[in-house]
Structure 1
């Protein structure tokens, strides 16, 4: 035992100095759980995560009651993207030692990474109650609260942290996000700039660029991107922002520069493929997608780019096996259903009409007059007034489907306004009618999820003006999507060219043969259109300079 202790002491000292080869020499021949565990830490810090994973697994087998081993194994699994193992090991560490702070914070970060906000809240609340001075725990709690839509409460928590001198980049960034949702744009920019200067990241870059863009602050937008294009860690996000702003060639130029410095990561090839799609270069898009598919066979963005490029070239039969694989792995993934529909249409399959039954699944409803109003016209006038303060921006977000318009920055269901809340109460009748009208049944991806109940999973407002439109898109995380018309321009009421109308079944990329829209619905104030989230949908531009205001939402089964 003395020999083991001496080896552990020497190995740990070498590990602390970063002398990993020396640490290995002291530890690798010692068949003891502590030596194996420490050697796992050595390999993790030396960058050999595969060896570290094997060593942590062996240590856990030898001593399943050691919370340190479970926690370190969990942290490595989280780093490697193995969410299931990470969660299991964090929870095992906490079952052994419920007060183990590292395991608590590790699990909290995992829940936040995977956007499980309610679970994160339930984890952090008692921890903060027990230790109200812990900055990391309070930050985690505030982050969960913000993402649950309790924006005012989250902003207060971030304010308190910063007043106490905790001005870390992450805290400033999250307060900036909260301030954006509260329409405090100038104050939000102060936080976002401070965060980006202190610790530049893809998150701060995207938030800053998007805000400058929506303000039409072209100089600040371009200055930010020109600088970030020269930072290797930010180049891919910079390229994607250029692409989203309507400059796919500039995106490709940035990626070409990045490739001269380092190997392009998978997301970079995905951006390149999408930029080629935007330029109508289907073969180049396919080549970019295939360039890293072997190394990243499960990357959803790359797979989506590959499918788009194949369908653009009329290669539906080649795309279909990939689509089937993705449909099996993610049966509720709305974008995979959309790709399947387009492939079936190109193949002339009868199954297309079963999947895309537009008369059955696309339905308009009159919104019942909300409580407290005499007519739907009275309500729409009040609703328009309630939405007006939330349409502060000059133009559309970078990462959304609208063009030449604005979108509210916050989930409207979280806004404490009686008129806005009256709208969401009034939706219950038509949503339930829609579920009854389309029915249930295992033979279709819409009806198979019909439980007879629902919840709103995102709600916003869009204001389109002269030239405004939605490019064709789907809602990947939805089930039922919608368009409620609050205000409709005169042009949309009788224009023969479908100005302002919503259209269905036309993909956002040109195909061979062409796949034009198959259904149009003319907008009318007071009408709610409901349809499956997997349907490609967009709108025709408005030309006369007047505005079209909608209040869309997504619903998912409850």
Structure 2
């Protein structure tokens, strides 16, 4: 198209898109950019095409170019922030939007987009303010109504039900809004109303797996023995949807019902794209339930070489005591993903079992595990406990977590708006910096120390309340963090009984399903008002205790 104008390329791209040729549309736009590299409209159109195809990082780059070429057109920056948020770069999205705040703050789309970016970045108060501003400008804007309702429940606002009711009047067919309404009702104590809504959603939208999972949690909380039976109904109604049995398996396995999960995975195997996926799940859950022969036969027939398969087979080889094979698989996994916490946690177990001196480097260096007193004012812990007890009064035992008994606060604890939790958050961040300053020096090969001097932030935060009768945490890891934690706020007296180790934190004991005779690397006696911090690559769990109350706050540290 020599001599063609930018409009010619835009029209060719539009024609290709209308015929269903997304790739051809993008090719036309890229040809136009080569011919007219300083045309902002072509850049913007290319960004939208890339975003539609799920290439958010590339889309953000094109929108950035468009904004640089035409800085007075704030829609370029708005779309750039949308792409950045989609790419998981929400902090950058907020920075881009801040540059056009003065000229765009009167636009509802800008305000709603800013609200989403702030929410994704964890700035809940700012998110609420920007959504509120969008709704003052355009009261029935669906995305702003949905975002504001979600922020209300995430912040623990007392009027969350009203926000969801307002959003549902505009978008009554949105299952996520109905699930949010159910969550808001459950928080207010209307468990029956929440259950009615979720049963209706499961009936009307059987492929909505988030809803199926939440219904299972509600049913489990009320003591239903067959708490996951609605998955079978959904699978019968939508037999072609692999996400239903996938979520069903994982919901059962979350409560150690691994034999049942293996049977679901076996039944889900049909010729097609997901056959290998469910075969791998069957092998994983069969092995976890103790049926090693069944798992071995499945692994022998798999040709799937994904990272997930390699890591899971390494776990299987560890369980069988085939340490050389496990080592080769873990080496392969970490060559492909050097920061993979799941692979590092298994390598720790392997190295300690085989007496490899590198185990000392991985988790035995002084300073990697620390028990530090919380940096904060006198009375902070007691004030925090009073608030947390209120939250635990309506909190469930969640599915998919390490908890075996007790309750865990909903959502992200430090996204809530209570001032005492904001103060506790600041105190934890200060303590975390003390931990960082006492770590060994930067080491680019180490899964934690490679991040010693980068930006850190909290991702996920929650409180757990255990009340004895054998309550505990099963051994687990947090695969998306680099540092994990436990802040001790209330402790039973038996924690300190000589020789008992009841309610202690164990670091490095393998999970029970591996069947390995390996003592924990470190056992920590909890101390009131102290924060245990350790690499996320260490398996960790707690020993059971018999009576009284144990309240902790935990979080994961991730890099910016």
* Fold in common (TM above 0.5): yes
Task: Tell me which residue corresponds to 1:196.
Answer: 202
Q: Alpha-carbon deviation of 1:403?
A: 0.6
| C-alpha contact (below 8 Å) 2:508/2:538 kept by paired residues | yes
Q: Alpha-carbon deviation of 1:534?
A: 1.4
- Cα–Cα, structure 1 residues 449 and 288, in superposed 2: closer, same or farther, change >3 Å? same
Counterpart pick for 1:310 among 317, 321, 328: 317
Q: Alpha-carbon deviation of 1:39?
A: 5.3
Q: Alpha-carbon deviation of 1:548?
A: 1.8
- Partners of 2:183 and 2:94 in 1: how far apart? 18
SS of residue in 1 equivalent to 2:478: coil
- Cα–Cα, structure 1 residues 283 and 89, in superposed 2: closer, same or farther, change >3 Å? farther
Q: Which runs of 5+ in 1 are unaligned?
A: 2-31, 45-51, 374-378
SS of residue in 2 equivalent to 1:74: helix
SS of residue in 1 equivalent to 2:405: strand
- Partners of 2:455 and 2:45 in 1: how far apart? 44
Considering only aligned residues, what root-mean-square deviation do their CA atoms show, in Å?
Answer: 4.1
Q: Alpha-carbon deviation of 1:468?
A: 0.9
Task: Tell me which residue corresponds to 2:230.
Answer: 224
Task: Tell me which residue corresponds to 1:424.
Answer: 425
- Partners of 2:505 and 2:356 in 1: how far apart? 25
SS of residue in 2 equivalent to 1:451: coil
| C-alpha contact (below 8 Å) 1:108/1:140 kept by paired residues | no
The 5-angstrom pairing of residues 405-554 of structure 1 reads: 405-443=406-444, 444-451=446-453, 454-464=456-466, 465-494=468-497, 496-509=499-512, 514-542=517-545, 544-554=546-556
Aligned length: 506
Task: Tell me which residue corresponds to 2:36.
Answer: none
Q: Alpha-carbon deviation of 1:454?
A: 3.9
Bigger shift: residues 237-246 or 167-176:
167-176
- Cα–Cα, structure 1 residues 143 and 284, in superposed 2: closer, same or farther, change >3 Å? farther
Q: Alpha-carbon deviation of 1:494?
A: 1.4
- Cα–Cα, structure 1 residues 183 and 283, in superposed 2: closer, same or farther, change >3 Å? farther
| C-alpha contact (below 8 Å) 1:505/1:535 kept by paired residues | yes
- Partners of 1:150 and 1:91 in 2: how far apart? 36
- Cα–Cα, structure 1 residues 143 and 341, in superposed 2: closer, same or farther, change >3 Å? farther
Task: Tell me which residue corresponds to 1:15.
Answer: none
SS of residue in 2 equivalent to 1:338: helix
Q: Alpha-carbon deviation of 1:272?
A: 2.0
State TM-score, norm by structure 2: 0.76
**Is residue 119 from structure 1 mapped to residue 93 from structure 2 by the alignment?**
yes
CA deviation profile, 1:63-104 (whole Å, cap 9, x unmatched): 3365796367425532xxx55445556767888996889x97
Bigger shift: residues 194-203 or 382-391:
194-203
Task: Tell me which residue corresponds to 2:268.
Answer: 258
| C-alpha contact (below 8 Å) 1:498/1:522 kept by paired residues | yes
- Partners of 1:228 and 1:427 in 2: how far apart? 43
- Cα–Cα, structure 1 residues 399 and 222, in superposed 2: closer, same or farther, change >3 Å? closer
Q: Alpha-carbon deviation of 1:309?
A: 1.3
| C-alpha contact (below 8 Å) 2:262/2:283 kept by paired residues | no
Task: Tell me which residue corresponds to 2:31.
Answer: 62
Task: Tell me which residue corresponds to 1:246.
Answer: 256
Q: Alpha-carbon deviation of 1:308?
A: 1.4
- Partners of 2:342 and 2:285 in 1: how far apart? 19
Counterpart pick for 1:339 among 332, 346, 350: 346
- Cα–Cα, structure 1 residues 394 and 172, in superposed 2: closer, same or farther, change >3 Å? closer
Q: Alpha-carbon deviation of 1:394?
A: 7.5
SS of residue in 1 equivalent to 2:480: coil
- Partners of 2:433 and 2:439 in 1: how far apart? 10
SS of residue in 2 equivalent to 1:507: coil
The 5-angstrom pairing of residues 61-140 of structure 1 reads: 61-64=30-33, 66=42, 70=46, 73-74=49-50, 77-78=53-54, 82-85=55-58, 87-88=60-61, 108=82, 111-112=85-86, 114=88, 116=90, 119=93, 125=111, 129=134, 132=138, 135-138=141-144
Q: Which runs of 5+ in 2 are unaligned?
A: 2-8, 34-40, 98-108, 114-130
- Cα–Cα, structure 1 residues 242 and 158, in superposed 2: closer, same or farther, change >3 Å? same
- Partners of 2:67 and 2:175 in 1: how far apart? 29
